[in-house]
């Protein structure tokens, strides 16, 4: 088997994110990804079976990163629940802040991946949502947040709102900055849950 050289795999992933964002997953072609990555089309297949495999890899890495960052915040016992919520919101938006194309892929392709039936990143995705819910439970137990909050509704509401706001930002990052979005979300959250 041929040895993998340089940063081709990273270049392919970065190119795929741009191509998926521009054309959508279904209209994207491996040859377009290869061209944007400045590699031969055959080189893509050294790393990935097909474009579905590339998309799954993007989401695997994304959800793993989101989970790991959220876990660090959640495990910090020196933080109060409201501080954890603030840091969690900042962390989610920071993951996308330098890459509007990744935000577009996340917003547009998350549900498509679930429909494809091979929800490989499900473990990180569920753990991510569970950690966010645990922080809310902690805040409710300590009396920091209102006890009548339905946590299932809350976690789905927040996840949906963040996805939509990422979509708005990714379409025109100059129109409304991601820091402004993050700040507003934190303000709404913290005043709505206390």
**CATH number at 1-48:** 1.10.10.60
How far apart are the C-alpha atoms of 164 and 117, rounded to whole Å?
23
- CATH fold for domain 52-192: Tetracycline Repressor; domain 2 (1.10.357)
Mean pLDDT of the region 131-138: 92
pLDDT averaged over every residue in the chain: 89
Closest CA to 154 of 103, 192, 108, 110: 192
Confidence check: pLDDT of 127 > 70: yes
Q: Where in the chain is the domain with CATH 1.10.357.10?
A: 52-192
Percent of the chain, pLDDT > 70? 92
How far apart are the C-alpha atoms of 88 and 146, rounded to whole Å?
19
Confidence check: pLDDT of 15 > 70: yes
The CA distances from residue 72 to 38, 67, 69, 87, 89, in Å, are 36, 9, 5, 10, 13
How far apart are the C-alpha atoms of 133 and 146, rounded to whole Å?
14
Confidence check: pLDDT of 192 > 80: no
Q: What is the pLDDT of residues 36-88, one digit of tens each?
A: 999 999 999 999 999 999 999 999 999 999 999 999 999 999 999 999 999 99
Residue 5 φ/ψ, nearest 5 degrees: -115, 155
* pTM (global) more than 0.85: yes
């Amino acid at each position: 088997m041929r040895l993998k050289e340089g940063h081709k795999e990273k270049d392919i992933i970065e190119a795929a994110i741009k191509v998926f964002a521009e054309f959508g997953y279904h209209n994207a072609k491996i040859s377009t990804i290869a061209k944007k990555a400045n590699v031969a089309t055959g080189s893509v297949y050294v790393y990935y079976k097909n474009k579905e495999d590339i998309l799954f890899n993007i989401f695997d890495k994304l959800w793993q990163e989101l989970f790991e960052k959220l876990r660090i915040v959640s495990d910090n016992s020196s933080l109060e629940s409201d501080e954890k919520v603030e840091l969690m919101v900042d962390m989610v938006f920071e993951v996308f802040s330098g890459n509007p194309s990744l935000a577009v892929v996340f917003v547009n392709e998350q549900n498509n991946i679930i429909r494809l039936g091979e929800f490989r990143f499900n473990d990180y995705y569920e753990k991510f949502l569970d950690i966010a819910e645990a922080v809310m439970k902690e805040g409710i137990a300590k009396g920091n947040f209102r006890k009548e909050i339905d946590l299932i509704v809350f976690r789905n509401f927040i996840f949906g709102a963040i996805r939509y706001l990422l979509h708005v930002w990714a379409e025109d990052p100059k129109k409304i900055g991601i820091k402004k979005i993050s700040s507003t979300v934190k303000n709404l959250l913290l005043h709505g849950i206390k």
